[in-house]
Structure 1
């Protein structure tokens, strides 16, 4: 392979959650004496980062407005994304559809993307800060009769090898008969690549194949071009053979371009696009993709972004709460405080802030009588109990609040829902991309 240089409702059991184009990124490069960087774009399992660090999800996407520009967003919770720069990258010629991002062992970020509607080349660009990008050139995929090279996805295996999964369509084959292939970098500079190898067991009726690895098993998410479903497959090696074992049953959404990322509670979030209706959805799973939560619209960006990647890495930063006795005060109603009946009132209740019952890097709130603040039917109340469900209902993750010194508290077992006051009651509500929600869900912890 040659590289062409270019010009510069809530249920109290295990919550469910709901395969396409994005490849989960791990770390390293096989066969080369290069150190593995910690915290690279996702691990097989995630947990709440320790104090002083935070999860960071970087979204690269193109939009309905242009097929040759890449926009970059980021988020601490895989729900509320803010624009870092848009457009952040435009190639010298051609397209930049389906941009997939990874962080390499040299500390730089790299994009690969669909460079043209036809042909056997995919694009490559790099950045030191995720914001300012430089075109590196196009990777030419060798082979006879390649008519289309679409939706390349980075996949960094646990052996350190840097791979790109790309959907190839060959001249003369029926329309829609794409099949996933992998190419592997053979040098640290990503300038030389192996010949394409098919992912056997995934038929030619699938496109947008996205791979994650959990333990020794490779999980493929694949968009069926015949049934319009997102199907799942597993294999013991990256190139297969894969066995298709489950359909996600999002046929009504005609979902494509899915990307899966790990969450702080150990579950996974799957993003996918309902491209016919110009909407982007996400859904969560905590049982290795067997069940999924009802799909939720991506707030603020649904209808704007297309075919995105959202890998995760842990970075320094993030808010912390002081442990011990504290009073929780509303940011936008500073004369009102959390109280013991699960409301926001003028009477102060002192809570003892303790390490989270479900994860010690989260937080739980204990009253003087030993009861804990937990959500039930998405309302907040004081309660006693034991077991996994109770512990998770009573655990919250600190996120940046709307003003300096404040925090927002995300539900541990329902990511994307935050403690928020509404009608002077406390609820665990889904995030909305509004200033009012950010104010209503921000609190300060003060001495009693």
Structure 2
């Protein structure tokens, strides 16, 4: 009886918190090599994150020869549907895509063959989606190395020298041809783009291996499809960082990233996108979390995906 009452109080507390919150932040991510699929965590303040469904998978990967679901990016479309893309393989020329109305029931998974016309394309990594309200267009973008296209430091890059490429769509049925989105003159990967008024901000990883950068930088553009400005100075500290994702909480920007050599997550914050403060010691995320993205959902939507184990 005491255990029942305790669990009941926890459940009531959870529901009360959800009702008080006007919106909830949802983190989509993967664990290990991405073989078990999509993981989700939620937060009310952007600092403390709690894994959902006991930190088990919401969706098992089914496409590509490797059947992976790395770097999941989910956005809420203008149609009210959640659209997701992900890295489905280490070496394929496509990316995974699926959609859902509730984060539980997903459409049949597809592989978008975004680099199939590039004979020397080695990969398609860390895809994301950004919506342009002005043109009512979605842009899907990712990092690819096209062998021989850019000079490569073979001693440390193992043949990889990424640039950011993109396609656009209005309905996730027909897509424009693949084009180059961003070439800052060095190995770049893990781009995430967010609107800020009339401009767009790209946060991305400088992958330069020698002398090592391995940090997060910013570039700006007046249009979603570019051209993007020359990158600014790093916003992350003296450690290797990758996989940035952003969140606006009040007047603060928070950029989260994977401190992958330290096997933990970090974050920096700013109110002006110029001066950044390290807040890695203030965040708490599920153990083993890897590269993902954040979106906002309603308390009602969260309630639908909460598993009984999450209330214990």
Smaller-chain TM-score range?
0.7 to 0.9
| Conserved? CA contact 1:53–1:317, under 8 Å | no
C-alpha distance in 2 between matches for 1:107 and 1:177: 37
In 2, distance between residues paired with 1:303 and 1:178? 29
Counterpart contact for 1:58–1:311, Cα < 8 Å = yes
Q: TM-score, normalised by structure 1?
A: 0.55
Describe the SS at the equivalent of 1:119. coil
2:264 to 279, 282, 289: 279
1:247 match: secondary structure: coil
Q: Work out which of the two has the higher radius of gyration on C-alpha atoms and give 1 or 2.
A: 1
Say yes or no: does 1:242 pair with 2:210. no
The answer on whether the counterparts of 1:109 and 1:129 sit within 8 Å (CA) in structure 2 is yes
Cα distance change of structure 1 residues 299 and 220 upon mapping to structure 2, 3 Å threshold: closer
What's the offset of the Cα at 1:230? 1.1
The reply to whether residue 63 of structure 1 matches residue 31 of structure 2 is yes
SS in structure 1 at match of 2:102 = coil
Rate the CA distance shift 1:92–1:316 in 2: closer, same or farther, 3 A: closer
- Alignment of 1:202 with 2:178, yes or no, is no
* Residues 137/281 of structure 1: CA separation in 2 closer, same or farther (3 Å cut): same
Structure 1 position 208, deviation (Å):
0.7
Task: Give the 3 Å change call, closer, same or farther, for CA 243–104 of structure 1 in structure 2.
Answer: closer
For residues 198-244 of structure 1, the C-alpha deviation after alignment (integer angstroms, 9 at most, x for no partner) is 22453341111111121222211121111112111112222322222
What does residue 293 of structure 1 align with? 277
Question: What is the CA–CA distance in structure 2 between the aligned matches of 1:297 and 1:178, rounded to whole Å?
Answer: 31
Structure 2 residue 144 is matched with structure 1 residue 168: yes
In the alignment, is the contact (CA less than 8 A) between 1:280 and 1:297 conserved in 2? no
Greater strand share, 1 or 2?
Answer: 1
Query: Is the contact between residue 208 and residue 256 of structure 1 (CA under 8 Å) also seen in structure 2?
Result: yes
| Structure 1: tracts of 5 or more residues without a match | 1-50, 319-434, 436-448
Q: CA deviation at 1:124?
A: 1.0
Of 221, 225, 232 in structure 1, the residue corresponding to residue 203 of structure 2 is 221
Q: TM-score, with normalisation over the residues of structure 2?
A: 0.77
Kept in 2: contact 1:67–1:96 (CA 8 A): yes
Find the counterpart in structure 2 of residue 395 from structure 1.
none
Paired residue secondary structure (2:238): helix
More helix by share: 2
Alignment of 1:146 onto 2:121: yes
| 1:30-69 deviation digits (Å, cap 9, x = unpaired) | xxxxxxxxxxxxxxxxxxxxx9761211111001264441
Give the C-alpha shift of residue 126 in structure 1. Answer: 2.2
Aligned residues of 1:280 and 1:298 also touching (Cα < 8 A): no
1:8-47 → structure 2 map (5 Å cutoff) = none
* Residues 201 and 171 (structure 1), Cα distance of their counterparts in 2 relative to 1, 3 Å cut: closer
Secondary structure, counterpart of 2:47 in structure 1? coil
Q: Distance in 2 between matches of 1:65 and 1:177?
A: 22
Structure 2 spans left out of the alignment, 5+ residues: 1-18, 153-158, 303-311
From 109, 125, 136, give the equivalent of 2:82: 109
